[in-house]
Amino acid sequence: MKIERSAGILLHPTSLPGRFGIGDLGPDAFRFVDFLNEAGQTLWQVLPLGPTGYGDSPYQCFSAFAGNPLLISPELLQHEGLLSGHDIVPLHTANQHKIDFGPVIDWKYELLHKAYNAFKEKHKSADKEYTDFCGKEDYWLDDYSLFMSAKQLHQNRIWTQWDHSLVTRKNLDEWKTKLAEDIGFQKFIQFQFHKQWKEVRRYAQEKGIKIIGDLPIFVAYDSADVWANKELFTIRKDGSLEFVAGVPPDYFSATGQLWGNPLYKWKKMAKDNYGWWRKRISKLLESVDVIRIDHFRGFDAYWRIPGDAETAINGQWVKGPGEKFFNTIKKELGELPIIAEDLGIITDSVEHLRDQFDFPGIKILQFGLGEYGDNKFLPHNYIKNCVVHTGSHDNETTAGFLKSERDKHSGIYEWAQRYLDYYGDNMTSELIRAAYGSAANICVIPMQDILNLGNEARMNFPSTLGGNWNWRFTWEQINHGLAQHYRDMAHIFDRPPKRKPENAVIETIEE
């Protein structure tokens, strides 16, 4: 995949400003698109957009197909006449800088139920747009809506603890009748999410901005995907986990990362040319322009951990589907705009798989700062077909990282000064400039680094539970001249390139 030389910002929609305790797809999303446009940015990268479950992580969603109801804008529901101004009085406990998920979830779902009741009253005869959506999306929506309704009935317990007939998916028609009201509600909120996101994406496209979406390679154990397709995952007959995913000890954790996601039965999936995966990728491409595959190396080989393990140490590498998978997807769906997240323990075979399909890999500039100039994460070593970030959602912010290294007297801060030939007090800005000036075609900077924020703005601490994914920014943090600064950088470093008009006439002067 080739993307022209360009620049963008990484910001999950939950981190947007707003009055309701969490960022959403309302006016502030459109204002952020305007900011991107003013700043000369042509890419907006987001994290997975699914309904979050365990630990509020967008990488542990209840569905690989559904959208996050918490992102639905109350203001847009008001504009539809489904809520009143009295209904959307802002949360008095809302924090402008941090999401308190408990109160936000309770408040938002109360609003969504009010909107659903108004929708039913307003559309006593079936609403065509809604019924068309339910018909088009039934291949995932029916199972998801029943799953979430059953989960609510069972006090949000994992599906293995439900009524036995639901665990085994027997007598589903009876359950659909029993849970019909809540199933309708679940379909309604998915309809609203998809409608609102479609408008945000349309607006971004009008401004020349492409959205980079995120596709986690694995899905959550407690998800509609696993519950409805047990035969495709490493699940025993009783619903218990035979094997789970993770990574061995690495930069982030001495005991590795035990993700707990079930693994795929790749041979079983191959029998119908990876039909479930084709649906998943096609669905995501209805919402985004480019797909970042998280943990790409899992397609080459994945770390298989026993289902009852307490850490990720005692696992083993198992061969993945590799080129057979991508050749099949390419044959069925055509050339795909894919970015390969190739961080961590990367072997020659992973690099070969990535390069065989011309997928750009990822460079994290923070990883390059050290003792030697031959580090592949340093800008002077980049190739064109790659993506550079200063950091990621799993890292410290760049300002936080630099402060930590300086406080530890590790020598990394001083090495960075020499590398950049910069001894001022805004090292983050200089590292961003180095990323912009590199050969990498794609440069995407986390919003926290754009704002030069410390670790108070960090998004995630891997292998920890609680206190993650809750950072938000405010418009007051956007300094005067910030957009112009990045527009100037985009022009200086040819992101995007300025094209000559077709059939342009080049005049020459003869002496």
What are the contacts of 326-334 at 24+ separation with CB within 8 A?
326/299, 326/353, 326/356, 326/357, 328/270, 328/273, 328/274, 329/274, 329/277, 329/278, 329/281, 330/357, 332/273, 332/278, 333/278, 333/281, 333/282
Is the bond into 496 cis (omega within 30 degrees of 0)?
yes
Residue with tokens 């987001």: 46
Q: Are 148 and 140 in contact (CB under 8 A)?
A: no
Q: How far is CA 138 from CA 146, 224, 334, 342, in A?
A: 12, 13, 24, 34
What's the rounded Cα separation, in Å, for the pair 29 and 35? 10
Helix/strand/coil (H, E, C) string of 194-233? HHHHHHHHHHHHHCCCEEEEEEECCCCCCCHHHHHCHHHE
Q: Are 407 and 399 in contact (CB under 8 A)?
A: no
Active-site residue, from 214, 222, 341, 405? 341
What's the rounded Cα separation, in Å, for the pair 431 and 418? 12
Q: 294 catalytic, yes or no?
A: yes
What's the rounded Cα separation, in Å, for the pair 404 and 391? 14
What's the rounded Cα separation, in Å, for the pair 327 and 405? 44
Q: Which tokens go with 155?
A: 């006090």
Active-site residue, from 28, 300, 394, 396? 394
Question: In this structure, which amino acid lies at residue 102?
Answer: G
Nearest partner of 48 among 36, 38, 61, judged by Cα: 61
Cβ-proximal residues to 302 (8 Å cutoff; 6+ apart), any chain: 217, 245, 263, 317, 318, 320
Nearest partner of 141 among 324, 279, 9, 19, judged by Cα: 279
Residue with tokens 């995907």: 225
Cβ-proximal residues to 301 (8 Å cutoff; 6+ apart), any chain: 317, 318, 319, 320, 347, 349, 350
Per DSSP, 98 falls in state B
Annotate 220-266 with DSSP letters as a single string. -SSSHHHHH-GGGBSB-TTS-BSEEEEE-S-SS-TT-EEEEEEPB-H
What's the rounded Cα separation, in Å, for the pair 470 and 11? 12
What's the rounded Cα separation, in Å, for the pair 491 and 127? 47
Nearest partner of 169 among 97, 239, 93, 100, judged by Cα: 239
Active-site residue, from 294, 300, 342, 405? 294
Active site residues: 294, 341, 394
